[in-house]
Amino acid sequence: EVDLVESGGGLVQPGRSLRLSCAAFGFNFNDYAMTWVRQAPGKGLEWVSSISGNGASGGSTHYADSVKGRFTISRDDLKNKVYLQMNRLRAEDTAVYYCAKSPGYSSNYFDSWGQGTLVTVSA
Amino acid sequence: IQMTQSPSSLSASVGDTVTITCRASQDISSSLAWFQQKPGKAPKSLIFAASSLQNGVPSRFSASGSGTDFTLTISSLQPEDFATYFCQQYDGFPFTFGPGTNVDVK
């Protein structure tokens, strides 16, 4: 059974950094694209970043304009983990961050979600 | 690509049939997914490729559409179906979600 477990959230001051992790279980991790999606309190879902699996596109990454240049997605296929390094955090980055798995090595729709980890950016 | 949903909320009773509409600002072919989310919980994937059910999703959920106009229909609404429903396009980056439709108890 597929399971995704996020960690690393917490309270952080504006301008500081935080790294989120998502541990994957129950599937051949390196074959699948992974994505981070966030949800600000009381708001809708916002796609943040995706990284492809190790197919023809070889770990290509994509970012929302709102995080480009500040956030970096990466994956460690030996540890079955995907990461989101978040730098220069802003109050508007406050959200629950979910990792999600795509059904193939290309990023498209999601077939499994983690439970989320809350990031609060506040002085 | 901008995604819109209507209605933003609706009230229904157990046993009702409800329909939610999602519209894309440009042609996305069939690259559309639907999710269900309950308060304090992670989203759950329901539909991909506009009309295909994810494994384990009850058959009372159905969806259709292509291009710019899509619908999600829940037949014979069950108590566990009261939730917020989001659509999402994955035709191209950046992926975008609709604002959600809240289905609550009449």
Chain A residue with minimal CA distance to B90? Answer: A108
pLDDT score, position A106? 86
Q: Does A45 contact B97 at a Cβ distance shorter than 8 Å?
A: yes
Task: Name the residue in chain A with its Cα closest to that of B84.
Answer: A44
- Residues of chain B found within 8 Å of residue A118, distances taken between Cβ atoms: none
The pLDDT score that the predictor gives to residue A55 is 60
* CB contact (8 A) between residue B48 and residue A111: yes
Considering only CB atoms, A108 lies closest to which of B41, B90, B99, namely B90
Q: Which letter does DSSP use for residue B95 in this model? A: P
A112: chain B residues, CB-CB within 8 Å = 45
CA A8 to chain centre: 11
Q: Say what the pLDDT of residue A3 is.
A: 97
- Say what the alpha-carbon torsion angle A119, B97, B100, A99 is, to the nearest 10 degrees: -40
- Pairing mode of beta strands B9-12, B101-105: parallel
pLDDT of residue A58: 65
Counting Cα atoms < 13 Å in the Cβ hemisphere of A103 gives 11
pLDDT beneath 50, residues of chain B: none
Q: Does B30 touch chain A (CB under 8 A)?
A: no
Match 């304009």 to its residue by tokens: A65
Distance CA B36, CA B34 (A): 7
Written as tens digits, the pLDDT of chain A (123 aa) is 999 999 999 999 999 999 999 999 999 999 999 999 999 999 999 999 999 997 655 689 999 999 999 999 999 999 999 999 999 999 999 999 999 999 988 888 999 999 999 999 999
Coil, helix or strand at residue A92: helix
The answer to whether B44 faces chain A, any CB pair under 8 Å, is: yes
